[in-house]
Amino acid sequence: MPFLSLGLLPTLAQAAGALGYIEPTPIQILAIPEILKGADVLGSAQTGSGKTAAFALPLLQRLQSLPAENRHQYGRAVRALIVVPTRELAAQVGDVVRSLAQALPQHPKVVVATGGVSINPQMMALRGGADVLVATPGRLLDLAGQNAVQLATVRLLVLDEADRLLDLGFADELAEVLTLLPPQRQSLFFSATFPDDVRELATQMLRDPVHVTVEATEVHEPEIAQRAIAVDAKQRTQLLRHLIKDQGWKRVLVFVATKYTAELVAEKLYKAKVFATAFHGDLSQGARKQVLAEFKDEQWEVVITTDLASRGIDIAKLPVVVNYDLPRSAVDYVHRIGRTGRAGESGLAVSFVSADTEAHFHLIEKRQGLSLPLEHIAGFESTEVATPIVAQAAPDNGGIKGKRPSKKDKLRAAAARANPT
């Protein structure tokens, strides 16, 4: 199905092709026509589904159709607002919107505003307003608080990765942002998961939304080969270096649990003549942007990262993802391995499994419907055994509910001891 059949302008359809979309993805097929109609949309799609273009393409076309008098009514007016959870995702979405906008006869003004850098250049960029503002919640409120941006003119609102926004604790900020927006607007709401708090936020934000859902099996799941390798925890760095050299991996994204581990593993690999660097939240925005740019340009072989990079980081043709430390949940596992195998490319996801983490990995397998053989690499055979879990002694009441003394019972006993008869 060609993009033109979805109702897009020929110039935008061509721009989508230039970004690598040969044919529309399932989320694009479902969402684009509804957005073009002006409907509120509640979208559910996994990472790597082409979701950004699914809202960016019709958003740009809708802006073209707005009456001219609505453009830059006064100083710092914004016509379309895209709210995202992280700086990296904001930069990525901004790049996609700008690339698509170049195809239009009148290039919309696109501004990206995030924390971690000086607010002054962003305030300067917003002089005269913006057609599209991509922002993280905290910086958006900072700009609004300094009267650097006018949100009462917003005609289109996009909330991207709503579940991640709430996971990062932005519920209060989002509620405040919504009070600054006009009631008459088109709202687009995208999330990979829908726990109760996400559903409640969607209810507050949307009016009679069209539900658009793409199951995970429709996204590039078959393109990602998955492996699990048994290894002692202390040998993971050596095994990683061995695999990089033995398998000829040219670019690898490695996930670890902590910033300290990211720095430590990167340093050890670099000393072993593997061009590796760390990527985590303690780096400045400028440093993070530089690492990503250099990684995309293949100046780094390996980037060791926390879950900061598990969502919203789009590295074209990234061949390998490694779970050095296992993710906390099956959902995080999906987002991590979704950094590879994107846009029709094949990819490889490797998980290191130690004796202490094997039970957790089996839980991830169960929830993902997987059954991966646990491989053993010669020279790195696992010798550790799982640390036994010491059970706490149960109280001598048979574990029967109601037999444990209540707070009132304890107070009565204390009073009796204090006032013996």
Pick the last residue of a domain from 215, 250, 270: 215
Within-domain flag for 132: yes
Same domain, 206 and 225: no
Q: Measuring CA to CA, which residue among 3, 5, 30, 35 is closest to residue 17?
A: 3
Same domain, 202 and 235: no
Same domain, 142 and 208: yes
Within-domain flag for 411: no
Same domain, 52 and 143: yes
> What would the pLDDT profile of 233-270 be if each residue is shown by its tens digit?
999 999 999 999 999 998 999 999 999 999 999 999 99
3-state secondary structure of 253: strand
Within-domain flag for 380: no
Q: Would you state the pLDDT for residue 324?
A: 97
Within-domain flag for 389: no
CA atoms of 243 and 239, how far apart (whole Å): 6
Q: Would you state the pLDDT for residue 334?
A: 84
Structure tokens belonging to residue 284? 């400045």
Within-domain flag for 309: yes
Domain span including residue 290: 220-375
> What would the pLDDT profile of 100-118 be if each residue is shown by its tens digit?
998 888 889 999 999 888 9
Answer yes or no: is pLDDT of 53 > 50: yes
Structure tokens belonging to residue 171? 């519920």
Within-domain flag for 403: no
Same domain, 203 and 243: no
Within-domain flag for 401: no
Q: In terms of DSSP bridges, do strands 78-83 and 110-113 run parallel, antiparallel, or are they unpaired?
A: unpaired
> What would the pLDDT profile of 6-29 be if each residue is shown by its tens digit?
999 899 988 887 777 778 889 999
Other beta carbons within 10 angstroms of residue 383's beta carbon come to 7
- Domain total in the chain: 2
Least confident range of 202-211, 304-313, 367-376, 406-415: 406-415
Pick the last residue of a domain from 352, 375, 398: 375
What is the helix (H) or strand (E) element at residue 227, kind and residue range? Answer: strand 224-230
Same domain, 45 and 31: yes
Please return the burial class of 347, using the count of CB atoms within 10 Å of its CB with bins 0-12, 13-18 and 19+.
buried
Answer yes or no: is pLDDT of 200 > 50: yes
Q: Measuring CA to CA, which residue among 109, 170, 118 is closest to residue 143?
A: 118
Same domain, 226 and 361: yes
- Residues pairing with 48 in the sheet: none
Stated pTM of the model: 0.64
Q: Would you state the pLDDT for residue 397?
A: 45
* CATH number of the domain enclosing 172: 3.40.50.300
Within-domain flag for 399: no
Same domain, 27 and 123: yes
Please return the burial class of 108, using the count of CB atoms within 10 Å of its CB with bins 0-12, 13-18 and 19+.
buried
Same domain, 168 and 262: no
Q: How far is CA 354 from the centre of its chain?
A: 27
* Average pLDDT value for residue range 137-141: 95
Q: Measuring CA to CA, which residue among 29, 26, 70 is closest to residue 48?
A: 26
Same domain, 191 and 299: no
Same domain, 272 and 361: yes
* Residue bearing the bigger pLDDT, 187 or 318: 187
CA atoms of 185 and 188, how far apart (whole Å): 10
Same domain, 14 and 142: yes
Instruction: Grade residue 228 by pLDDT with cuts at 50, 70 and 90.
Output: very high
3-state secondary structure of 150: strand
Pick the last residue of a domain from 334, 358, 375: 375
